[in-house]
Amino acid sequence: MFEQVNEFLAPALMLFATGFLGAMFKKNAIVVFMCVELMLVGAMLAAVSFAAANSDIDGATFALFVLGIAASEVAVGLAVLVRLFRLTGTVDVDKMKSLED
């Protein structure tokens, strides 16, 4: 039972770690959003693998809700980025100072 989980936890950890490191060190806001999506996919893969190992459907249900939330996050995040790009002319996170006021 746990052998099946171990096969999926390593890729889930790699996806989550890649997303976390990208979100921490990248300066482009679009790349940061993609890294957050990688983190969500890694967490979703871990939840589905644990649920499959326990013969439970809750992990797949959780994954479905995560996909819905991720889609709405992308829509709202890209709308905010387009608006900030029109105001500042850049998508570099360090150069966007308009949210400090």
Residue range 37-87, pLDDT digits in tens: 999 999 999 888 888 888 888 888 888 888 898 889 889 988 988 888 888
Cα of first residue to Cα of last residue in the chain, in angstroms, is 53
Let me know: does 44 contact 96? Beta carbons within 8 Å: no
Core vs surface per residue 16-39: b (16+ CB within 10 A) or e: beebeebbeeeeebeebbebbbbb
**Is a pLDDT exceeding 60 seen at residue 28?**
yes
**Architecture (CATH level 2) of domain 2-88:** Orthogonal Bundle (1.10)
In the structure, what pLDDT confidence band is assigned to residue 93 with cuts at 50, 70 and 90? Answer: confident
Helices 29-53 and 2-25, packing angle to 10 deg: 170
Mean pLDDT (the chain, rounded): 85
pTM: 0.79
Per-domain boundaries in the chain: 2-88
Q: Which two tokens stand for residue 10?
A: 């390593």
